[in-house]
Amino acid sequence: MKRDLVTISDLDNTEIEEIFQLSDALLEAGRPAARPGALTGKIMATLFYEPSTRTRMSFESAMQRLGGSVISCPDMRSSSAAKGETLADTARVVSSYADVLVVRHYWDGAVQAMAEYAEVPVVNAGDGSHEHPTQTLCDLYTLRKEKGGLKGLTVVICGDLKHGRTIHSLVYALARFGVHVVTLAGQGMELPRYVIEQLCNEYHYTPAPLVSHDLEAVVDRPDAIYLMPSKPHQLALFTRVDDELHDRLSEMVSGLRFDAFYVTRMQKERLREPLAEEKGHYPRIGARFLKEKRFKDALVMHPLPRVDELSPAVDQDRRGVYFKQAAYGVPVRMALLSFLLGRAVPSRARPARSEKVIYRTPEGAVSLCANVNCVTRGEPGSTRHRFEMLFAGTGDGLNIRCLYCDHRFNVHYIGNSRSKRYCTYGGGLREIVRAWLRAGELIIFESIKEAEELAYEPYRMGPQRYLMDETEVRAALERMSEAIAAGTEDRDRLMIVGIRTKGAFLARRIGAELEKQWERKMDVGEIDIYGAGDKPQKIFPVEPRLPAPDLHEREVVLVDDVIHTGRTVKSALSIIFQSARPRSVRLAVLIDRGHREVPVKPNYVGKHIPSSERERVRVKLREVEQDEKDKVVVYSIINPQAQADREATP
């Protein structure tokens, strides 16, 4: 079986040690040796969808020094990717040309997706903000060489800990080798929660706020977290540490010896709101650091490229080891390539992960991953949408982890695909979820709307209450249409777009209302936020024979039946803005039931109905109802009990 290196967890500590010993043997008087016979006849393909100097060139140099050769596309924008070729197809094709693929991509999890389709080993040269495991090998190798070992060291990681992929792979590896870590993040660039959770749950790290003025020599306002390897459950994650423990920690920390500062640049290309995040302080290493006695033995490391966080003043100092770190890229990558290709490597398909409870999103359902930069959202067709069920976690939802980008998040709606019923998830349903999963009947929904669009019914409902009848629905729509008309600047630009399916019926009715008022034809479209099967999410004309509406420079009014968390509207907006740049977008909903998760406020509301989370507000429209009458009803959703579960899965 082939071995991929997608995350640093794909190599165990013994294997990393083996790679380091091989790297030692490949260094002759500090320079990488040539081993022309080692990989003769083997071909490495480099596929870089993002810029690179060190990683790509040191990989290419490594392969050539081993007697192998290199093929590559000088710029993936000039490859078939520019014509829309998928990652899956590229991986299949290129793996028939080469014996190993080295891939860098801007989406988190993209390399995992390619590894699933490639027939040869795939090495991650950096995927979005996720991981960069071969940089970590160079970092650990440098640290080990300079300090004589790893266990018990204390490393301060500085800068953009949120987006820095080198940081994420590095902290997991440091954790595994028993290194203490102090985090010193730029403002708003702290280690992401999913990384901290992984450090605590899998590597038994104990994080504690660091009460120390030691680091003032580096930054003006040190906000640091001290992470130490410890026994599981000694301290809970960020719960208030009790006073005694707190004192002990600060005592321990104030006597701390810092062995290395790992500095990183701000990953500007990954900031979503550059201005907001750039304002704060950012740790920089320069003359002040060099003068500080306490740091006299602290190495300064950097994956490079640097911008202004690391002053050239450090270049001449013995502590600055970043050029060495970059130079070790060749022997370490030579060792890695020999390890992956040179002989029969033990196959190890991430044993730790394969034992986990895995959920695969069925065909037709949406990608659940909450990370907008995840490959499962960027290119759903090249992924298998797999999630690990963690069950426990913070908050009250069902905690799951994306197996591509590692992000962890909660989902709230689950269903049984055999009985076609859904319900809200609560801790009491854990065993039911496991049973449905074993039977292959579990489906997880992003929202109630998604469940109902896929024709699922609430598991059991309480008695129904009527909130609006036909006359009230008609009056509300008339009022909304008038308000929309009054708020429209340019009638020629107005375009009513309904969210399928009920929002689309309401959009037609509002369109008809305006046609009556203005005595002119109105443009009405529909948007499908879920897509179905291979059909992507899209904007459609109301009449199939018309061309797809172009929203460029239009005054769009988005229409839906009920607004609840706001996620549906958020998805619709992202589809709209992917397709065009409208002049404005307004939102009209028949019912606003509150409980928003995203900051979305409708401009036009038929009726506000405060309802509890466990209630379902349902708009029934004459277009689809048997009795051809409009109404709005509310009922409570009752979760399946153990008894009901037995009925559902005998």
Site residues, ligand NCD (CB under 6 A)? 54-55, 126, 132, 135, 165-166, 264-265, 303-305
Rounded Cα distance, 31 and 37, in Å? 18
Could you tell me the CA-to-CA distances from 1 to 7, 46, 121, 257, 628 in Å, in that order?
18, 21, 9, 44, 60
Provide the minimum distance between the beta carbon of 434 and ligand NCD in the complex, in angstroms, as a whole number. 38
* CB-based closest residue to ligand NCD: 303
Query: Is 54 or 360 the residue whose CB approaches ligand NCD more closely?
Result: 54
Query: Is 274 or 305 the residue whose CB approaches ligand NCD more closely?
Result: 305
Between strands 494-499 and 523-528, the pairing is parallel
At 38, give phi and psi (nearest 5°). -65, -50
Give residue 385's region: left, alpha or beta (phi > 0; psi -120 to 50): left
Query: Is 54 or 430 the residue whose CB approaches ligand NCD more closely?
Result: 54
Q: Does the N-terminal peptide bond of residue 501 adopt cis geometry, omega within 30 degrees of 0?
A: yes
Q: Where is 260: in which H helix or E strand?
A: strand 260-263
Provide the minimum distance between the beta carbon of 217 and ligand NCD in the complex, in angstroms, as a whole number. 24
Query: Is 59 or 205 the residue whose CB approaches ligand NCD more closely?
Result: 59
Dump the DSSP string for 573-618.
HHHHHHH---SEEEEEEEEE----SS----SEEEEE----TTEEEE
DSSP secondary structure code for residue 340 in this structure: I
Provide the minimum distance between the beta carbon of 8 and ligand NCD in the complex, in angstroms, as a whole number. 14
Query: Is 312 or 544 the residue whose CB approaches ligand NCD more closely?
Result: 312
Provide the minimum distance between the beta carbon of 175 and ligand NCD in the complex, in angstroms, as a whole number. 20
3-state class (DSSP) for residue 80:
helix
Within a 10 A sphere around the Cβ of 44, how many other Cβ atoms? 28
Query: Is 212 or 264 the residue whose CB approaches ligand NCD more closely?
Result: 264
Provide the minimum distance between the beta carbon of 404 and ligand NCD in the complex, in angstroms, as a whole number. 18
As beta bridge partners, residue 421 has: 416, 457
Provide the minimum distance between the beta carbon of 128 and ligand NCD in the complex, in angstroms, as a whole number. 10
Rounded Cα distance, 103 and 255, in Å? 43
Query: Is 62 or 448 the residue whose CB approaches ligand NCD more closely?
Result: 62
Query: Is 155 or 467 the residue whose CB approaches ligand NCD more closely?
Result: 155
Provide the minimum distance between the beta carbon of 227 and ligand NCD in the complex, in angstroms, as a whole number. 21
Nearest CA-CA partner of 336 in 1, 559, 25, 18: 18
Query: Is 265 or 401 the residue whose CB approaches ligand NCD more closely?
Result: 265
* 144 neighbors 150 (Cβ within 8 angstroms): yes
Rounded Cα distance, 641 and 644, in Å? 5
Provide the minimum distance between the beta carbon of 325 and ligand NCD in the complex, in angstroms, as a whole number. 9
* 589 neighbors 608 (Cβ within 8 angstroms): no
Provide the minimum distance between the beta carbon of 55 and ligand NCD in the complex, in angstroms, as a whole number. 4
Query: Is 262 or 404 the residue whose CB approaches ligand NCD more closely?
Result: 262
* 108 neighbors 50 (Cβ within 8 angstroms): no
Burial label for 50, CB within 10 Å (0-12, 13-18, 19+), is middle
Provide the minimum distance between the beta carbon of 480 and ligand NCD in the complex, in angstroms, as a whole number. 49
Nearest CA-CA partner of 523 in 499, 548, 560, 501: 548
